[in-house]
């Protein structure tokens, strides 16, 4: 079933699902500030969560999130719709996170931990305090183990944790799927060793 839009030559298939994110990027490419504000609200938190896990620094992660979304604003017209909007945006965030990581790597040993244990582990009145403490300790050990990985290996593991598929991760980090699988294999092996220690 087809429906006419503004002109008789423009038709939209009504039985096709409309990708809201793609529509927002198209509107941003046309200079629509309201669409950009909506895209900003949808993606700032996701980008920040990804970047904070990579960078372990609140200010750097927030800077990456803002820089990434500014890049979306200025280059929305370059989005070719060959991947999902999420993969495109996180690809930009990945490259900016790597750049920030490499620029600030020599200063990371003096940083304070980025998370409070309470923020990492859900707490509710029904949670047993011993279970809460054990979970918080496990999260701390996992964060420490993740910090031993190279930036490429860590990025793959963080994207897996965020629920991205191998195909999506390959698009985000800009490498073949087999490279993602290899990085995942090596990262898991390194994590096992680090967690055993």
Tens-place pLDDT, residues 81-116: 888 999 999 999 999 998 888 887 655 444 444 443
Quickly count: other Cβ atoms within 10 Å of residue 67's Cβ.
Answer: 18
Closest CA to 166 of 87, 112, 105: 87
pLDDT of residue 68: 96
- Residue 7 confidence (pLDDT) above 50: no
Structure tokens at 142: 């996992």
Q: Which of 6-10, 135-139, 171-175 has the highest mean pLDDT?
A: 171-175
pTM of the model: 0.66
Distance in angstroms (rounded) separating the CA atoms of residues 22 and 120: 32
Q: What is the mean pLDDT of residues 32-42?
A: 95
Tens-place pLDDT, residues 128-155: 555 555 555 566 677 777 778 888 898 8
pLDDT of residue 197: 66
Mean of per-residue pLDDT scores for the chain: 78
pLDDT of residue 88: 93
Distance in angstroms (rounded) separating the CA atoms of residues 123 and 145: 23
pLDDT of residue 72: 96
Distance in angstroms (rounded) separating the CA atoms of residues 137 and 61: 24
pLDDT of residue 52: 87
Delineate the domains of the chain, giving CATH numbers in brackets. 1-105 (1.10.1740.10), 126-197 (1.10.10.10)
Distance in angstroms (rounded) separating the CA atoms of residues 119 and 33: 33
pLDDT of residue 147: 78
Q: Which helix (H) or strand (E) holds 3?
A: strand 2-4
pLDDT of residue 47: 93
- Residue 44 confidence (pLDDT) above 80: yes
pLDDT of residue 105: 64
Q: Which of 4-13, 65-74, 99-108, 163-172 has the highest mean pLDDT?
A: 65-74
């Amino acid at each position: 079933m087809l429906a006419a839009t503004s002109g008789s030559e423009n038709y939209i298939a009504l039985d096709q699902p409309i990708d809201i994110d793609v529509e927002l990027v198209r509107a941003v490419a046309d200079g629509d500030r309201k669409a950009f504000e909506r895209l900003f609200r949808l993606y700032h938190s996701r980008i920040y969560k990804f970047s904070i896990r990579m960078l372990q620094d609140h200010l750097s992660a927030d800077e990456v999130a803002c820089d990434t979304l500014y890049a979306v604003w200025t280059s929305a017209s370059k989005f070719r719709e060959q991947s999902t909007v999420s993969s495109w945006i996180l690809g930009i965030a990945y490259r900016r996170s790597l750049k920030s990581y490499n620029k600030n790597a020599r200063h990371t040993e003096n940083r304070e931990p980025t998370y409070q244990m309470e923020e990492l582990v859900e707490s509710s009145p029904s949670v047993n305090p011993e279970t809460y403490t054990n979970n918080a300790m496990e999260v701390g050990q996992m964060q420490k183990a993740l910090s031993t990985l190279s930036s490429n290996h860590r990025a793959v593991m963080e994207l897996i944790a965020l629920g991205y598929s191998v195909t999506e991760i390959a698009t985000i980090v800009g490498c073949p799927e087999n490279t993602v699988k290899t990085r995942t294999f090596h990262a898991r092996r390194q994590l096992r060793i680090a967690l055993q220690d």
